[in-house]
Structure formats: C-alpha cells, structure tokens
Structure 1
Amino acid sequence: MRVYLLIMVLAAAITYLMVPVIRRMALAVGAVTGVRARDIHTVPIPRLGGIAMYCGLLVALLVASQIPYLHWVFASGSGVWGVLIGAGIMCLVGAIDDIWQLDWYAKLAGQVLAAGAMAWQGVQLASVPFMGLTVGSSRLSLFVTVMVVIVVANAVNFMDGLDGLAAGIVGIAGSAFFAYSYFLARDASPDNYAAVSSVVVAALVGICVGFLPHNFHPASIFMGDSGALMLGMVIAGAGILVTGQIDPANTSVGDSFPAYMPILVPAAVILLPLIDFVWAVVRRLARGQSPFHADAGHLHHRLLRRGHSHQGAVLTLYLWAAIASLTCVALVILPGKYVIPVSAVAVVMAIVVTRRALKWHKGERIKADDDTRIPDENVVGDD
C-alpha cells in the first residue's frame, strides 16, 4: 500500500506544482474560456489544466517503473505504457481543441486515434466477464475497445461543467476503483499486491487531488478538453485492464456475485457521467441536434436551477458518485446483508440533500434553460 500512496502523492505534487506554469502558458497562447450568458464565472478563466495533470501522470508512472516491487507491472505488454501513450495523445487532441476549437469530427478522429493507439499497445477488451461473453475476433476487440474509450472519455467531458466537478467525481471513482483492484489483487496473490490497474488508478487519483485546489470554486484554471478527455481515457483504460487482471469467479473476494464485478464496478464508478452522457445524447437527438451540440440540460445545470449554489451542486454530485461507486466496491469486500441497508440509508439521505438546495452564496443560479443554444460545438471544460 505504501508504494501506491507514494505514486498518489507524487502525482498530486507534480500536478499541483505544474498548474501555475500551465496557467501562464494558457494565457500566453489565448486558451481562455470567456464569459457567456449561461456561465457562472464572471471573468475569463484559462484552461489547458489537463496538461499539468498529464505531467503528474507521466512523472508518477515513470518513477513507479523504477521501483523493484512494481517491476513486472511495467514489463512489455503490461498495458501501463499503452494507457500512458493513449492518454498523451488524448491530452494533445484536447489541448489543440482548447486553443483552436476543433470541429466535432476532427476531435472525434483524434479520440479514435488515441483509443486505437492504446489498444495497439495491448489494452483491449478481449472478453466481457458477464455470463461468459467473449469478443470474437481481434478486429472486433479493437472496435469494442475504441467505442468504450470514446464513450467514457466523452461522458467525463460532458460532466465537466462546474468548477471541480469532473476532477472530484473522477477522483472519487478512481479511489473506489483502486480499492476494488487492490483487494482483487490481494485475494489472488497474497504475497504480491502489485497490479497494473492499481498503479494506473493510483496515479489517476493523485492527479485529481493535485488539480482540485486550483479548480474548486472559484477556479483559477479549467482542465479543458485536454484534461476531461484524458481522465476519461485513463479510467476507461484501467477498467479494461482490470477485466483481464484476474478471473474473479475463481477468487474468494466477497459473497455477492463476484463473477459480475469486473463489469459492474467499472460501470458503477463512472455511473454519474454515463447517465449524464446518455441523457444528453438522447435529449439532443430528440431535438434534431448533433449529440455534440452543447445545452444547459446536464445534471449540474438542473441542480443549479433547483437553487443549489455552485459548491452545493458539485458536492451533491460528489455524494451520488461516492454512493454509486463505493456501494458496488463494498459488495466485493463485504457481505451484501451489511452493505445494502447502509447503502439504502445513504440513498435516502442523498435524495433529501438533492431536493433541498445547498446554498453557499445567494444568487448563484444558472441563467439559461434547457433550450439554451450557444455557438460552441461542445462545452469547453468547467463551464
């Protein structure tokens, strides 16, 4: 565990220290989010924070590769380098969009390239541990992997609409995912807890923690597409890695349907972004719009219209993300008879909190309705 904590702390420290440097760079190149009618921030905010986060990820994983305990994790074909390469390409695509505003199809092409590069390095969804389903061919495996990565990356990007929201939710999801991967590895190999997915997720949690002090409301920098798409890429890659890490049907972890966990846990940890993404796509297609046409119908917008303050909306969504991800992970570790009652109480409390407006500052309500149209093809981070 100490090795993983070292990776988290290192990733957090590098990210935190790099943010001021990237902020100055963003101002120099004009990567700044202006103030629009629907925005809560009242002054232009620089973006490109994702570059600082990638620096933290890169340094943490490079240092981890030199630790003897983790030596086999970084062996050729392990998948860590594939995730790092794919995340780098995704960050670059997002950074280009943050500066020059790519058309949606150009951005999508870049996402396909990033996901394909990661899959080419061996991070592929070759099997789905759900009722014995397997992907039938290498081409189908590549296609499914690319589709999963693109959906998850854009789900995180769509959720990135308030200060600290995406980084916080991915950090919470990553923490739950780390616990799942760690306990799974410990159960499979009591003498060595090193696991590819655990290393990747530890670094992911670290960069989220390091970025949040700069990004929580009022934010001094936005992560932009360079950060949101990259975070989605990393957590998708970790989810794909963990499905091949171990055969959970042959382990003793938990008493509740362990064979379903490798697909349920990755889905649960990003449940909130996925719900928001699916609803956004359905809503826009029903209106005859492009799925990438930005509007003000996201979950965080709806909370703001209910009277929640900026911080209140973010913390409410943190709560739901924690309940969804931690409940599923707890079912792996503890018997369901203990987990389900506690989770039910937590859900009731979350419903009460969601219905009651959490206000830190008066007057922080969104200025647009569901039909608001803005000129951007997509929301550009933390807006």
Structure 2
Amino acid sequence: MREYAVVLCVAAIVSYFATPAVRWASIKLGAMTAVRDRDVHSIPIPRLGGVGVYIGMLAAMLVAHQLPGLQQTFVGSSETTAVIVAGGLICLLGALDDRFDLDPFTKLAGQIACAGVLVLMGVQLAFIFIPASDLGTVSLDPNTSFLLTTLITVAAVNAMNFIDGLDGLLTGVAIIAAIAFFIYSYQFSREGYGDVFSAPTLMTAVLAGACIGFLPHNFNPARIFLGDSGSMLIGLVLAAAAVSTTGHADPQSFSSAASAIPLFMPLLLPIAVLAIPLADMTLAVVRRARERRSPFSPDKMHLHHRLLEIGHTQRRAVLIMYFWSALLAFAGVGAAIGQGPLVLSISAALVVIAIILSVVPRARRRRRDGSKRPA
C-alpha cells in the first residue's frame, strides 16, 4: 500500500505543478473554449488540461517502474505499457480536438484506433462469465475479444466526454471512480485472485492522483478545463482497468455463480462506478435520436444542466453529482467485497438523502410561488 501511496502523491504533485504551464501553452496555442449557448462559463477558458493530467500520470508511472513491488506490473505483463502508449495517443487526439475542433466522425475514428492500440498491446477481455446459465465461462476468440474490448473502451471514453459540462465535475467523478475501482481491485488481489501489485490497481491509483492534483485548477471558478484530451484519457484508463481486472482472474477457480462474483464484478462494477456518465450519455443519445439529430450534436439537456434549471448553483450541482457518483460507486464496491444487506440498507438511506438534496431548490421555489399567489 505504501508504494501505491507514493505513486498517487507523485501523480498529484506533478499534475498540480504542470497544469499552470499547460494552461499557459493552451493560451499561446489558442486552445480555448469559446462561450456557447449551452455553456455555463462567461469567458473563454483554456482547455488542454488533460495534458497536465497525463504528465502527472506519466511521472508516477516512471516512479512506479523504480519501486520494487510495482516494478512487477511492467515485467509481468504489457498492460501498464499499453495504457501509457494508448493513453498518450488518445490524449494527443483530444489535444488536437481541443485546438482544431475535429469533426465527430474523425474523433470517433481516432478513438477506435487508440482503443485498438490498447487491445493489440495486451489489454483484452479474454473471457466472460455468464451467471445462471449452463455456459459458465465463455472464452472469447481473438476477433470477438478485440471488438468487445474496443466497444467497452470507446463507450467509456464517450461517457466521460458527455459528463464534462461544469467546472470540476468530470475531474471529481473521475477521482471517485478511480478510488472506488482501486479499492475493489486491491481487495480483489488480496483475496487471492491475483497479485497485489497489479496493472489495474496501479492504473487507478495513478489516475486518482493526477486528477486530485488537477482539481484545484479546475474547480469552480475553473482556470482550465480538462478538454477532450482529459475526458477521453480518463475514459480509456478506467476501461483498461475494468478489462485488466477481469483478465487477472482464473476462470477455472470458480464453480458456481456465487463463487464467481469476483469474475463478473469487474464488468458490472464499472456500470455502478460510471452510472451517472453512462446514464447521461444514454439519455442524450436517445433524446437526439428522437429529434433526428446526430448523437454527437450538443445541447443543454444533460443531467448537470437540469440541476442548474432546478435552481442549484454550479458548485452545488457539482457536489450533488459527486454525491450520486460516490453513492453508486461505493455501493457497488461494498456489494462486491462486503455484506450485501448492510450495504443495501445504507445505500437506500443515502439515496433518500440524495433525492432530497437534488430537489430542494424546486420544492422551495414552488412553495415560494404558492405563497405569492393572491388569495
């Protein structure tokens, strides 16, 4: 655990001090977010923040390579190297979009290419456990593995991109998701399903640290945005961690659905951890399809926009989204590694609190409007 704490701190410190330089470069290069109708900021903001996050991650990975325990993650497999290379490529793709506003199809093609690099370098979903069926563990052929892993990665990349709409929102959600997945992956290894020093645990520790270092620059009022360089990088790393954790389990060690929970939880857990971004992306795609618009066409109907319409301030809307993300993420982790009934009871109580916090401004407004009506 000490080595993970070291790399997390290195990522945070380097990201924190690198971001001002990235902000300066972003201004010089003209990579600025213009003020649009759907945005909540009133002045142009630099948007190459993902480069600062990647620099922090890269520095932490270099330190990890020198530590006796974490060095095993580089020697034993190519997954860590795959994340460094594919992460760098998708960060570069995002940086080009931040500067030149690439069209959606060019960006999608680039995402698929970066996901392909990730898969070809070793991050692959080799098998799937299907509970409550006679199939049990299904081994995937190389073509199916490639397609499914690529699909998971591209979906995560775009889910992160869709939620990036308020100061500090995506950065905080990424920290929550990375910490939740780190806890699960670390516990997964400690219980005998892999080595404590593993690629997915390192990935998430480094990502959490880099985002922690970036958040002070990004929280409202933001001085720099993550941009596509950051949102796509975060999505790729989280997808890689999910797929890699699944690959570290031995399918022969599970004889029943109950004993195989650790095997299929790595695929279910990201749904809990990323429930808010995935729900937002799904609703946006359905909404735009009904209106016969491109799924990539922007609008002002995302979940965070609706919280603003209810009456929340930008900071309060972000904190509420943090609360929902943490609730779902850690409920999923708790269900996977703890006692289900206890986790369910606590989660149910917190859901009630989250709902109340979310709708309080609307209730106050209705009560105020009602009191103003003439008798």
The verdict on a shared fold, with TM-score over 0.5 as the criterion, is yes
1:209 alignment counterpart: 212
2:25 alignment counterpart: 25
What is the count of residue pairs matched by the alignment?
355
| Matched position secondary structure for 1:111 | helix
Residue 42 of structure 1 deviates from its aligned partner by 1.6
Q: Deviations 1:190-223 (Å, cap 9, x if unpaired)?
A: 9x62121110100010111011000000000001
2:367 alignment counterpart: none
- For the pair shown, the structure with the greater C-alpha radius of gyration is 2
Q: Deviations 1:16-66 (Å, cap 9, x if unpaired)?
A: 011100001000010011222332212111110000100011111111011
2:12 alignment counterpart: 12
Q: Distance in 2 between matches of 1:125 and 1:218?
A: 40
Q: Distance in 1 between matches of 2:260 and 2:353?
A: 24
8 A contact 1:129–1:260 mirrored in 2: yes
Question: CA RMSD for the aligned pairs?
Answer: 1.9
2:142 alignment counterpart: 138
Shift in alpha-carbon separation, 1:144–1:258, aligned structure 2, 3 A: closer
The answer to whether residue 183 in structure 2 is matched with residue 179 in structure 1 is: yes
1:56 alignment counterpart: 56
1:106 alignment counterpart: 106
2:365 alignment counterpart: none
8 A contact 1:255–1:336 mirrored in 2: no
2:354 to 350, 356, 359: 350
Q: Distance in 1 between matches of 2:199 and 2:156?
A: 20
Q: Deviations 1:236-283 (Å, cap 9, x if unpaired)?
A: 1111101112248659xx999445422221221111111111111111
8 A contact 2:30–2:99 mirrored in 1: yes
1:222 alignment counterpart: 225
Q: State the AA in 2 paired with 1:218.
A: P
Any unmatched runs of 5+ in structure 1? Answer: 359-383
Shift in alpha-carbon separation, 1:70–1:30, aligned structure 2, 3 A: same
8 A contact 2:53–2:230 mirrored in 1: yes
8 A contact 1:181–1:198 mirrored in 2: yes
**Which range is displaced more, 255-264 or 177-186?**
255-264
Q: Following superposition of structure 1 onto structure 2, how do residues 68-79 of structure 1 map, counting pairs within 5 Å?
A: 68-75=68-75, 77-79=77-79
1:271 alignment counterpart: 275
Please report the TM-score for the alignment, with normalisation by the length of structure 2.
0.91
Please report the TM-score for the alignment, with normalisation by the length of structure 1.
0.89
Residue 76 of structure 1 deviates from its aligned partner by 5.6
Q: Distance in 2 between matches of 1:220 and 1:159?
A: 18
Residue 114 of structure 1 deviates from its aligned partner by 0.6
Shift in alpha-carbon separation, 1:97–1:243, aligned structure 2, 3 A: same
**Which range is displaced more, 258-267 or 324-333?**
258-267
Structure with higher helix content: 2
Q: Deviations 1:91-130 (Å, cap 9, x if unpaired)?
A: 0000000001111111111111110011010101122233
1:291 alignment counterpart: 295
Q: State the AA in 2 paired with 1:215.
A: N
| Matched position secondary structure for 1:125 | coil
| Matched position secondary structure for 2:70 | helix
8 A contact 2:269–2:332 mirrored in 1: yes
| Matched position secondary structure for 1:357 | helix
8 A contact 2:243–2:267 mirrored in 1: no
Q: Distance in 2 between matches of 1:149 and 1:57?
A: 19
Shift in alpha-carbon separation, 1:111–1:66, aligned structure 2, 3 A: same
> What percent identity do the matched residue pairs reach?
43
